[in-house]
A and B are shown apart, each in its own frame.
Chain A
Amino acid sequence: MMTLRARLGVLWALLRTLSGDDAYERYRAHQALHHPLEPLMSRRAFARDAEQRKWSGVSRCC
C-alpha cells in the first residue's frame, strides 16, 4: 500500500509531466544517459527550442 504522501507525489509528478513543467529535467536525464559527451542546452535555450518546435505545425484543433 502506498502512503498518502506517496500517492500525492505520483499525482504531482503526473501533473508536472502533463503540463511540461519537468520537460527540461527529463531532457537532462535523457542526455546524461544517452549522450553524456554532447553539450547540454541551458534551461532557457531548451524552453525556446521547445516553443519553436511546438508552434511550427498544427498543434490545436477546432
Chain B
Amino acid sequence: MSRLSRISGVALALVGAIAVGGIAVHRREPVNSLWIITAAVCIYLLGYRFYGAWIATRVLRVDPSRATPAERLNNGRDFVPTHRMIVFGHHFAAIAGPGPLVGPTLAAQFGYLPGTLWILVGAVLGGCVQDMTILLLSTRRDGRSLGQMARDELGPFGGFAALIGTLLIMIILSAVLGLVIVNVMKHSPWATATVCGTIPAALAVGLYLRLLRPGRVLEATLLGVSLMLVALFAGGWVDHQQALRPLFDYPALALAAFVIGYGLCAAVLPVWLLLAPRDYLSTFLKLGTVVLLAIAIVITHPQIRMPALTSFTDGSGPLFGGKVFPFVFITIACGAISGFHALIASGTSPKLISSEADVRLVGYGSMALESFVAIMALIAATLLDPGVYFAINTGAGVLGATPEAAVRTISGWGFPVTVEQMRALAAAMGEHTLFARSGGAPSLAVGMASIFGSSFGRGFLALWYHFAVMFEAVFVMATLDAATRVGRFMLQDLLGHAWEPLGRTSWYPSVLFASTVTVAAWGYFLYVGVIDPNGGVNILWPLFGISNQMLAGIALAVATGIIVKSGRPRHALVTGLPLAWITLVTTTAAWQKVMSPDVRIGFFAAAHDLAHKLAAGALTAERAAIAPQLIFNQRLDGVLTILFTTVLWFVILDMLWVCARRLLGLPLRSLSEAPYRPSRLGAALLEGHP
C-alpha cells in the first residue's frame, strides 16, 4: 500500500471515529443527520478499502489474469466484457428496490440507533460480503445461478430449496408492495390520478420503442419522464377540480382490486408494452431521486427528532410487535443484507464482469451504496416529529377511530402531537388526512418532501410530496411486475414436471394459467392485508423479512460450503459468521412469530385469540364478518414461517454435511469451477469502454 493511501485510510478512520463519537455524546439531545451521514460514508469506505480488499485477495483469491466468462463466452449480447463502472451501474440499478426504503422507516419505531447500527454493521460485514462472494463464485462458474450453484456444490436439495424459497419470497414481496401502494393512494385523488397517469406514460414509451424507434432507449426515457411529470401536475390539477376528485377517490379495497387487476394485465401483456418501459422509467427515476435526496440531505442536514431508543424496544411497538432483538434485523432486511441480491449477483452481472478484480467494486460497492439509501430513508423517517411519525405509520385499529382519539393514544406514549398539527401537515402535503397511512411510503414521502422542500423551495411541499409518492409507486409497481413475471416462470418450471405443456413459457394458455395463479397468490395476501384493521403491514413485513433473510442464509451457506470445499476452512468464517448471525436472528424471530403467546407477535396466538372472541360474540358485526379470514391468514402465515425456517435449516445441514466430509477427507462432488484460462483482454480493448 502506498504512503498516500495509508494516510487517507488513517484520515478516514479518524473522521469516522469522530462522527461515531459525535453520535455517542449527543445522547438526550437532538443529533444532526450530518453526523450519521459522515459516520456511514466513513464506515463504507473503510469496509471497502480494508475488509472488502482483504476478502477479495485472501479469501476469494481474485485473479485478474484469469479470463472471465464475459471474455471466454463473449457473444456480443449477454456475455460482454464491460467496463467496471458500467457493470457497477447496472448491478446497482438491479439490486436497488423499495425494500431499503420501507424497512428502515418501519424500524424507526425503536428509535434511530438500532436501525442505523444494523444497516451499517450488517452491510459492511454481511450484505456486501455476500453480494461480492456470490458474484465471484458465479463468475468462476460461467455465470450460473444461485440455484444451480447450490445444486452443483451441495446437492439437489439445495437447488430445490433455493427455487421454492425464491418463489415464496416473490409472492410475499408482491403482496407487501401492493399494500404499500394501496395505502399511498387510499382516499388521495392526487396520488391515485398520478399513479394511474404513469401507466399510459409507460405504454407510450413501450409503443415508441417497439414501433417507432427500436432500441433508442434515451429518447424513449426522455419522453417517458416528461409524461410522468405531466401525470404529476395533472394529478394536482385533478385534486382541485371538485367534479373530477370523486373519480379518483377510492377506499383501500377498491384500490387493492385495481392493483391486482393491473398486476394480472402486466403479467399477461407482452413485456415490451408495459413491463420493460416501466422498468426503464423506474430505473431513471430511482437513480435521479436517490442522487437528489443525497444532495438535499447534505444541504439541509436536518436534526433527527426521534430519540436514539424509544420505549418500544421492549416489544410493545405500535407499527409491529416484537422486541428490538430479533425484529430490528428482520425489519431492516434488505438495507443490511438481502438474499435477493444473490440472485442478481448470479444472474446478469457475472456475465458482464471483464476482470475478476472488478468484483469488489460491483459486489461490495453496490451493496454499500444500497445500504446508504437505507440510511437516507432512516433519516427521512426520524427527522419527523416522533408524534407525527407514529400518527402516520400506526394502523387505525391501534390509533382509534377519530383524530382526537388517535392524538390521545400517541400523546399517551410520550410523543405529543395535536390534531391541528396533523391537519396543517396534511393540508401542506395536499392530502385529506395523514392519520393511519401505514406501510412506510406516506411517511417516507412526507420526510422526503420536507427535505426537498427546505432545499429547493418551501412553497412546493404538496408537489414534492406527490413527486415522492410517484417515485415510490413507479418503483414499487416495476418490482411488482417483475416479481409476478419471475414467479410465473418458476411456477411454469415446476408445473412443467407434472404436465409438459404447462412448462412452455410461450404457450398462451399456460402463461395465462400460471400468471393468474401467481397474481391470485399475492392478491390473497394483499386482500387480507387491506381488510385487516391493524393495517396488514405489521403481519406481512416481518414475514417478508424472514423470507428474505432465509434466502440470504441459503446464499451464505452455498458460499461457506464452497470456501470450505476449496480447502480453506478458516477463511469460511467470513461468510460463516454472518450466516450464523442470520440463522440465529431468523430462527429466533420465526420461533417468536410461531410460539409467542402475545397476540401482537405470535401468529397462532392471534388466531386463537380472535377465534375465541368470535365464538364468545365479543366482536362487532363488522369485525365478526372478516374474522374467519383473518384467523385463516394468521395460521397460514404461521405455517409459512415454519416452512421458511425448515428450508433454511435443511440447506445449512446440507452444507455442514459437505463440510464435514471435506474435513474428514471423504469423497465429495468436485468443485464446479470453470478451468483457468489466461485473460487476453487489455483494458483498452474492452467493449463499452467510454
Partner-B contacts on A (CB < 8 A): 10, 13-21, 23-24, 26-27, 29-31, 34, 43-44, 46-62
Contact B338 A49 (CB under 8 A): no
Q: Which of B84-92, B134-142, B436-444 contacts A (4 or more CB under 8 A)?
A: B84-92
Q: Which of B339-347, B525-533, B569-577 contacts A (4 or more CB under 8 A)?
A: B339-347
CB neighbours (8 Å) of A51 from chain B are 271-272, 276
Q: In the complex, which residue of chain A has the Cβ closest to the Cβ of B75?
A: A30
Given contacts A43-B215, A58-B344, A62-B177, 8 further A-B contacts (CB under 8 A): A17-B690, A26-B687, A27-B76, A34-B76, A46-B215, A60-B478, A60-B483, A61-B340
- Proximity bits, B657-690, A CB within 8 Å = 1, else 0: 0000000000000000000000000000001101
Partner-A contacts on B (CB < 8 A): 74, 76-78, 80, 82-83, 85-86, 89-90, 94-99, 145, 166, 169, 173, 177, 209, 214-218, 221, 271-272, 275-276, 279-280, 284, 334, 338, 340-341, 343-344, 347-348, 478-479, 482-483, 485-486, 489, 505, 544, 548, 687-688, 690
Q: Which 4 A-B pairs have the closest CB atoms?
A: A30-B76, A60-B482, A47-B214, A62-B99
CB neighbours (8 Å) of A18 from chain B are 86, 89-90
Contact B347 A14 (CB under 8 A): no
Q: In the complex, which residue of chain B has the Cβ closest to the Cβ of A31?
A: B76
Instruction: Report A58 CB to chain B, min CB distance, Å.
Output: 4
Do A44 and B77 form a contact, CB below 8 Å, given A30-B687, A61-B99?
A: no
CB neighbours (8 Å) of B334 from chain A are 61-62
Contact A62 B688 (CB under 8 A): no
CB neighbours (8 Å) of A26 from chain B are 76, 80, 687-688
CB neighbours (8 Å) of A62 from chain B are 97-99, 169, 173, 177, 334, 338, 340, 479, 483, 544, 548
Q: Give bound CA distance, A1 to B511, whole Å.
A: 56
Contact B479 A59 (CB under 8 A): no
Q: In the complex, which residue of chain B has the Cβ closest to the Cβ of A16?
A: B218
Do A59 and B216 form a contact, CB below 8 Å, given A51-B271, A51-B276?
A: no
Instruction: Report A41 CB to chain B, min CB distance, Å.
Output: 9
Q: Give bound CA distance, A56 to B271, whole Å.
A: 10
Do A60 and B94 form a contact, CB below 8 Å, given A17-B690, A50-B77, A51-B276?
A: yes
Chain A binding surface SS class: helix
16 pairs, A vs B, C-beta closer than 8 Å: A14-B86, A19-B221, A21-B218, A24-B215, A51-B276, A54-B348, A58-B486, A59-B279, A60-B94, A61-B99, A61-B334, A61-B479, A62-B99, A62-B177, A62-B479, A62-B483
Contact B94 A55 (CB under 8 A): no
Contact B215 A57 (CB under 8 A): no
Do A20 and B217 form a contact, CB below 8 Å, given A26-B80, A47-B209?
A: yes
With most chain B CB atoms within 10 A of its CB, the pick from A21, A54, A59 is A59
With most chain B CB atoms within 10 A of its CB, the pick from A10, A16, A44, A51 is A51
Q: Give bound CA distance, A51 to B216, whole Å.
A: 13
Contact A53 B78 (CB under 8 A): yes
Do A43 and B486 form a contact, CB below 8 Å, given A18-B90, A27-B76, A58-B347?
A: no
Q: In the complex, which residue of chain A has the Cβ closest to the Cβ of B544?
A: A62
Instruction: Report A46 CB to chain B, min CB distance, Å.
Output: 7
Contact A49 B77 (CB under 8 A): yes
Instruction: Report A36 CB to chain B, min CB distance, Å.
Output: 12
CB neighbours (8 Å) of B82 from chain A are 17
Do A61 and B94 form a contact, CB below 8 Å, given A14-B690, A51-B271?
A: yes
Q: In the complex, which residue of chain A has the Cβ closest to the Cβ of B475?
A: A60
Contact B218 A61 (CB under 8 A): no
Q: In the complex, which residue of chain A has the Cβ closest to the Cβ of B348?
A: A59
CB neighbours (8 Å) of A17 from chain B are 82-83, 86, 688, 690
CB neighbours (8 Å) of B97 from chain A are 60-62
Q: Give bound CA distance, A59 to B177, whole Å.
A: 17
With most chain A CB atoms within 10 A of its CB, the pick from B76, B99, B275, B344 is B76
Contact A23 B687 (CB under 8 A): no
CB neighbours (8 Å) of B90 from chain A are 18
Q: Which of A10, A13, A47, A60 contacts B215 (CB 8 A)?
A: A47
Q: Which of A13, A30, A59 contacts B690 (CB 8 A)?
A: A13
CB neighbours (8 Å) of B688 from chain A are 17, 26
Q: Give bound CA distance, A49 to B113, whole Å.
A: 48
Do A56 and B489 form a contact, CB below 8 Å, given A27-B76, A61-B97, A62-B98?
A: yes
Q: In the complex, which residue of chain A has the Cβ closest to the Cβ of B480?
A: A60
CB neighbours (8 Å) of A52 from chain B are 271
Q: Which of B78, B96, B221, B544 contacts A61 (CB 8 A)?
A: B96
Q: Give bound CA distance, A47 to B340, whole Å.
A: 27
Contact B215 A23 (CB under 8 A): yes
Q: Give bound CA distance, A15 to B284, whole Å.
A: 11
Q: Give bound CA distance, A55 to B483, whole Å.
A: 11
Q: In the complex, which residue of chain B has the Cβ closest to the Cβ of A58?
A: B343
Q: Give bound CA distance, A60 to B370, whole Å.
A: 14
Q: Give bound CA distance, A62 to B543, whole Å.
A: 14
CB neighbours (8 Å) of A49 from chain B are 77
Q: Give bound CA distance, A52 to B275, whole Å.
A: 12
Q: In the complex, which residue of chain B has the Cβ closest to the Cβ of A60?
A: B482
Contact B173 A60 (CB under 8 A): no
Q: Give bound CA distance, A44 to B215, whole Å.
A: 7
Contact A55 B271 (CB under 8 A): yes
Contact A53 B343 (CB under 8 A): no
Q: In the complex, which residue of chain A has the Cβ closest to the Cβ of B370?
A: A61
Q: In the complex, which residue of chain A has the Cβ closest to the Cβ of B169?
A: A62
Q: Give bound CA distance, A13 to B177, whole Å.
A: 35
Q: In the complex, which residue of chain A has the Cβ closest to the Cβ of B333?
A: A62
With most chain B CB atoms within 10 A of its CB, the pick from A15, A26, A58 is A58
Q: Give bound CA distance, A55 to B505, whole Å.
A: 12
With most chain B CB atoms within 10 A of its CB, the pick from A18, A20, A30 is A18
Instruction: Report B370 CB to chain A, min CB distance, Å.
Output: 9
Q: In the complex, which residue of chain B has the Cβ closest to the Cβ of A57?
A: B347
Contact B482 A34 (CB under 8 A): no
Q: Give bound CA distance, A57 to B344, whole Å.
A: 9
Instruction: Report A9 CB to chain B, min CB distance, Å.
Output: 9
Contact B338 A55 (CB under 8 A): no
CB neighbours (8 Å) of B279 from chain A are 59-60
Q: Give bound CA distance, A32 to B214, whole Å.
A: 21
